[in-house]
Structure 1
Amino acid sequence: MKKLVKSLFPAQVRWLQSRRLMWRHYRVTGEYELRELPRYVRRNAVSVDVGGNIGVYTFHLGRLSRKVITFEPNPDYVSQIKALGVRNGEIEQVALSEQAGEAELRIPALEGGEAPGMASLSEMAVPDGACLRTIHVRMARLDDYSLSPVGFIKIDVEGFEESVLAGAMETIRRERPNLLIEIEERHNPGGLERIRQRLADLNYKGYFFLDGSQRPIAEFDLARHQDPANLQDAAFHNRRALPYINNFLFVA
C-alpha cells in the first residue's frame, strides 16, 4: 500500500516526509534552541532566517511569526525550503553581507563528497584547500530591505556573521529584535567577544543554552564549550546530543 501511495502521489508524500523531518528536528534531534523559539519569537512581527539551509528554522519561525523571510543563496536549499510550503514564508536567494554586490559561496569537501551545509563566504571558514566548488551568488544588506516590524533574527552563516550584522545594524537599532547567532571560534577567531561587545553597546544581553538551561554568556568557556574534540561526525545525526555550544541568544 505504501508503495502504491508513493507512486500515485509522489509530491504529496515528499511534502509529508519533509514536514515530519522538521518536527523530528524540533522534538528530538535538532538544536536545543529550536525548543526555546516560542519564548523569544514575537508572534505579531516578522522573523528573519539568515542562512536557511534545509529550512528547519524557517519552518518553525513560520508557525510562530506573522511572516518569515529567509535569506539563502544556495539554489538547492532554496528549492528544499520552497517544497516545505511555508504559507507565510518568503525566500530571497541572496547572501546577506555588509555591502551589496556579488561573491563566491565556498562549499567544502567532506568524506569524499561535499558539505553544502557548511558553505561560507568566508575564506577562513572554508580555505582553498578545503573548498570543493563555489557558487556565484548575489549579496545584499538586510538594512536595504527596510523590514518592519522585525521581532526575531536567526543568523547561521559559518563565520560570516559579523559581516551580516554590519549590514543589519540599522534594522537592529530600530526594531530591537531578539537574535540567535551561530558563532564559532574555528571559523571566526575572536568573533564571539566582538559581537558580544557590539550588541552590549546596544543594551543586549547574551545567553547560551547548556543541559537544558539558559546561562549568561559570561559563563561561556571557549576551551570547554567549543572543544573541537566534541565535534564527532556521528553526533551530527542528533545535534541535541552534541556537547558543543555554538549558538548564542541576544535579548533586547
Structure 2
Amino acid sequence: MRLFEFLLKLNGKFSTIRKITQPLVKKAVLDPTQRKRLNKFYHKLTYYEKSIFHALYGRIFRDGKNYDIQGEWILKFAGKEIRIPLESESLWLDWETALSVLGHDYEIKAFYENQINSSNPPACFMDIGANYGTHSLLLLSAGIHTFSIEPNPECKSYFERLASYNQVKGEWFGLALGEGEGKAHIEFPEGETWLGTLSETDFSNRKEAIKSYPVEIKTLDGLIVENGIKPDLIKIDTEGFEEGVIRGGENYIKDKLPNVIFEANKGEEQVRLQRTLHKIGLEIFSLKTYKKITCPEDIQIKEGNFIASKEETLSF
C-alpha cells in the first residue's frame, strides 16, 4: 500500500481526522496559491487514491454557504489537461465535479485512458446516461467524436459550460433510450441529478424536493440509423434501465460488436445483462481486474462496472 493511500484511508476510517483535514482542504481550495499546491498533490495520486479523495472531500462545499472564488482545478488525462472552472455561484457543484471526473467510477476512467493510449483507440464514443457529460468531456479532450444521451434537461447547460471552457464541442441528445419508443418521466432529488431514474423509486427518505420532467424515449438502433452514428465504444449508465437500452440497440450491437461499458449493481441484474450480451456475441469482463466473467462467482463484492467486448481477452 502506498503512503498516500494509507493516509487517505486513515482519514476515511477516523472522523476525528476528517474533522481536521476537511476544513484544511476547503481552505486550500479557496486560496489560489494553496489550491495550486493541492492540485499538484492530486496529480500524484493513483486512480484508486483519487476515488478515496473524492469520497472524502467531494462534498465539502455542500454547506449552504457562499464563498468568494474565481479559479479552476486542472485534471491530467491521457496526456491532456482538462480544466474545471470553480466559481462562487456554483462552487458546490464545480468542486464535486472536479473530483468526480477522475475519482468516480475510477476503473472506467482508467479503461478510457488505456484505450486512448492504445494502438487502436476508439473513433466514436456514445455516452448513454451522460448526466453532466463528464465521461464525454474526457473523450472529447482526446479528440474523439462523442455523442451524449441524457434525458434530464438540467444537465445540458452545465455540460456546455465545461465543454466551452475546454474548447471542445460534443453532440447532445436530450432524450432517454429504451427497448421501445414512448414517453416517460424522469425523477430525482433536487441537486442530485445523477440519481435521475425513469422507474418508480422511493425517495421518501430524502430531504430534498423531488423534481420531475417528461422525457421522450427512443431506441438505440433508431437513434443510430436516424443520425448516422457509428460508435465503437458505448457507455451505459441508466440507473437500472441498461437492459432495455441494450435490447433497443441489439441490431447495431450484433452487427458492429462495439465495446459496451455498463453498470449492474444487483446480482439478478448482472446475470440478466450477461446473458443478454452473451447472446449478442460479446464476452463480459471486470473493469477492475480485466478478467472474464463466466459466472456470478467471478464478480467481486461491490463490483458494479463491466465491459462487454468481442475480444477473448482484455489486457493493457
For normalisation by structure 1, the TM-score amounts to: 0.72
Correspondence for 1:36: 111
C-alpha contact 2:187 2:198 (8 A) present in aligned 1: yes
Give the number of the structure with larger relative contact order, counting CA–CA contacts within 8 Å between residues 6 or more apart: 1
Q: Measure the CA separation in 2 of the matches of 1:169 and 1:140.
A: 13
Shift of residue 176, structure 1, vs aligned partner = 1.4
- Is the contact between residue 185 and residue 214 of structure 2 (CA under 8 Å) also seen in structure 1? yes
Asked if the contact 2:101/2:135 (under 8 Å) is kept, the reply is: no
Contact 1:54 1:81 in 2 (8 A): yes
What do residues 135-155 of structure 1 show as CA deviations (whole Å, max 9, x unaligned)? 111111111122443110000
SS state at 1:121 partner: coil
Aligned to 1:50: 128
Post-superposition offset of 1:43: 3.9
Letter in 2 for 1:117: W
1:16 to 78, 85, 98: 85
CA contact (8 A) 2:262 2:307 kept: yes
Partner residue in 1 for 2:230: 149
Give the corresponding residue for 2:293. Answer: 217
User: Which one of the candidate residues 282, 292, 307 is aligned to 1:249?
Assistant: 307
Q: 1:135 aligns with which of 213, 231, 234?
A: 213
Superimposed CA distance per residue, residues 176-214 of structure 1 (whole angstroms, 9 cap, x where no aligned partner): 1101001121xxx6221121112112221111134xx32
Point out the structure with max Rg over C-alpha: 2
Counterpart Cα distance in 1 of 2:299 and 2:144: 39
Sequence identity percentage: 21
- For the residue of structure 1 that corresponds to 2:291, the secondary structure is strand
Residues 81-117 of structure 1, C-alpha deviation per residue, up to 9 Å, x if partnerless?
111116241000101112222101122x4xxx66321
Provide, for residues 26-62 of structure 1, a one-character-per-residue CA deviation record: whole Å limited to 9, x for no partner.
5545522111113446646221000111222111122
1:127, distance to aligned residue in structure 2 (A): 3.7
* SS of equivalent to 2:290: strand
Whole-angstrom distance in 1 between the partners of 2:94 and 2:283 = 33
What residue is the counterpart of 2:247 in the other structure? 166
Task: Report if aligned partners of 2:115, 2:122 keep a CA contact under 8 Å in 1.
Answer: no
AA matched with 2:154: D
Match of 1:76, SS? coil
Q: Distance in 1 between matches of 2:290 and 2:122?
A: 24
1:179 matched residue in structure 2:
260
Contact persistence 2:115–2:121 (CA under 8 A):
no
Report the residue type matching 1:120 in the other structure: T
How far apart in 1 are the matches of 2:161 and 2:185?
A: 25
Aligned residues: 217
- Report the Cα distance in structure 2 between the residues aligned to 1:53 and 1:176, rounded to whole angstroms: 25
Question: Unmatched 5+ residue regions in structure 1?
Answer: 8-13, 226-243
Normalising by structure 2, report the TM-score.
0.59
CA distance in 1 between counterparts of 2:204 and 2:94 reads 36
In the alignment, what sits opposite 2:192? 115
Q: Aligned partners of 2:257, 2:105: CA distance in 1, in Å?
A: 27
Aligned CA RMSD, in angstroms, stands at: 3.3
Does the C-alpha gap of structure 1 residues 95 and 130 become closer, same or farther in structure 2, counting only changes over 3 Å?
A: farther
